[in-house]
């Protein structure tokens, strides 16, 4: 049961390496933090190239916004946005993640060359587990209370850490029941998905308790509103230092993947933190 590596499609990462930096590549005209500037294939590809130069480890491609209040995108539109980007980046040398909860998009993305399925619904949609069960793709199962349209309407928990952990344990059971190996699974508490700032800070503080059987954790706090709240209402573009600090805090608490907008700053911070932790300057240079 205990796994030593994370299988991410064509790539395999040791679990004792420095945390991986997942760069966000939104192919959505209404993205809350980049103002839609990467909409369209060519702009997305330029952004991906820049992230690769900056040292990204995984590229997370998303066609549908999941910001609070956002509505779902028709399947055909999601496919039109993400498939050309996956096809163009397939041989870029980095694992490609697809941010989707739709089983049909999962299948098409895997056929086009995606290495990881990042599902904010935690593979709860009918047919989602069946779509990903075969093969070697990594699977990120995230916690969300309610759905993106309603999740920030007074989120409530008796015990946020216990409830999120129980949810993640349930998803692990469902994935294992479909024959999926532990080495393919990553778990995510879903910062900002049906949580107040205090819920998010509690989850971050207690992150080590959220893993299930030592499975790796992904943390996504980049530019999120909790950081805006901490900074007295700063807009997303003013949350970069806070995002980097949150990524390092998450790494310190055991996150194996941090999902971020600001790749260069996060890679530098994570490498520096890792070198300090390893007490070896050359640790920062390792991939």
Residue 202 CA to residue 157 CA, distance in Å, equals 12
Tell whether residue 81 is a contact of ligand 9MG (CB under 6 A): no
The neighbouring-strand residues paired with 119 are 141
Which residue among 259, 271, 277, 280 is the active-site one? 259
Question: Is 67 labeled as catalytic in the residue annotation?
Answer: no
Which residue among 81, 171, 184, 224 is the active-site one? 224
Nearer CB in complex with ligand 9MG: 25/89: 25
Q: Please pick, from the candidates 9, 103, 155, 220, the single residue that binds ligand 9MG as defined by CB under 6 A.
A: 220
Tokens representing residue 98 in the block: 């697809």
Tell whether residue 218 is a contact of ligand 9MG (CB under 6 A): yes
Cα 82 to chain center, whole Å?
A: 16
Tell whether residue 216 is a contact of ligand 9MG (CB under 6 A): no
Closest distance to ligand 9MG from the beta carbon of 123 (Å): 12
Q: Give 146-168 as a DSSP string.
A: S-TTTTTSS---SSHHHHHHHHH
Closest distance to ligand 9MG from the beta carbon of 160 (Å): 15
Q: Please pick, from the candidates 6, 32, 191, 273, the single residue that binds ligand 9MG as defined by CB under 6 A.
A: 191
Binding span for ligand 9MG by CB under 6 A among 86-94, 102-110, 148-156, 187-195: 187-195
**Is residue 98 a contact partner of residue 116, using CB atoms and an 8 Å limit?**
yes
Place of tokens 């070896």: 280
CB atoms < 10 A from the CB of 279, how many? 7
- Torsion sign (Cα): 53, 247, 159, 198: negative
Give the 3-state secondary structure of residue 265: helix
Q: Please pick, from the candidates 45, 140, 144, 240, the single residue that binds ligand 9MG as defined by CB under 6 A.
A: 140
**Is residue 131 a contact partner of residue 106, using CB atoms and an 8 Å limit?**
yes
Closest distance to ligand 9MG from the beta carbon of 275 (Å): 26
Nearer CB in complex with ligand 9MG: 57/188: 188
Tell whether residue 152 is a contact of ligand 9MG (CB under 6 A): no
- Torsion sign (Cα): 187, 27, 78, 73: positive
Closest distance to ligand 9MG from the beta carbon of 213 (Å): 19
Tell whether residue 120 is a contact of ligand 9MG (CB under 6 A): yes
Residue 37 CA to residue 44 CA, distance in Å, equals 9
CB atoms < 10 A from the CB of 103, how many? 20
Question: Is 224 labeled as catalytic in the residue annotation?
Answer: yes
Residue nearest to ligand 9MG (CB): 220
Tell whether residue 259 is a contact of ligand 9MG (CB under 6 A): yes
- Count of residues touching ligand 9MG (by CB under 6 A): 13
Cα 180 to chain center, whole Å?
A: 19
Binding site for ligand 9MG (CB under 6 A): 62, 66, 99, 118, 120, 140, 142, 188, 190-191, 218, 220, 259
Catalytic residues: 224, 259
């Amino acid at each position: 049961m205990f796994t030593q590596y994370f299988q991410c499609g064509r790539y395999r990462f040791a679990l004792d390496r420095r945390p991986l930096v997942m760069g966000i590549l939104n192919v959505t005209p209404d993205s809350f933090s980049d103002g839609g500037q990467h909409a369209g294939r060519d702009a997305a590809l330029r952004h991906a190239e820049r992230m690769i130069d900056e040292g990204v480890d995984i590229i997370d491609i998303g066609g549908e916004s999941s910001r609070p209040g956002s509505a779902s995108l028709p399947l055909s539109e999601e496919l039109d946005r993400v498939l050309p980007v996956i096809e163009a980046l397939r041989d870029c040398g980095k694992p490609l993640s697809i941010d989707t909860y739709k089983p049909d998009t999962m299948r098409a993305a895997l056929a086009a060359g995606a290495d990881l399925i990042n599902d904010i619904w935690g593979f709860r949609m009918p047919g989602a587990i069946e779509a990903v069960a075969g093969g070697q793709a990594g699977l990120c199962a995230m916690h969300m209370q309610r759905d993106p349209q309603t999740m920030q309407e007074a989120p409530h928990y008796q015990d946020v850490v216990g409830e999120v952990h129980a949810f993640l344990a349930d998803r692990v059971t469902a994935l294992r029941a479909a024959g999926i190996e532990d080495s393919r699974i990553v778990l995510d508490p879903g910062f900002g998905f049906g949580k107040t700032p205090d819920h998010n800070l509690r989850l971050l503080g207690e992150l080590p308790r959220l893993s299930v059987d030592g499975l790796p954790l992904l943390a996504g706090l980049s530019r999120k509103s909790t950081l805006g709240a901490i900074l007295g209402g700063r807009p997303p573009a003013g949350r970069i230092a806070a995002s980097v600090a949150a990524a390092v805090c998450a790494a310190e608490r055991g996150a194996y993947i941090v999902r971020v907008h600001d790749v260069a700053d996060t890679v530098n911070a994570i490498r520096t933190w890792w070198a300090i932790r390893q007490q070896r300057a050359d640790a920062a240079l390792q991939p």
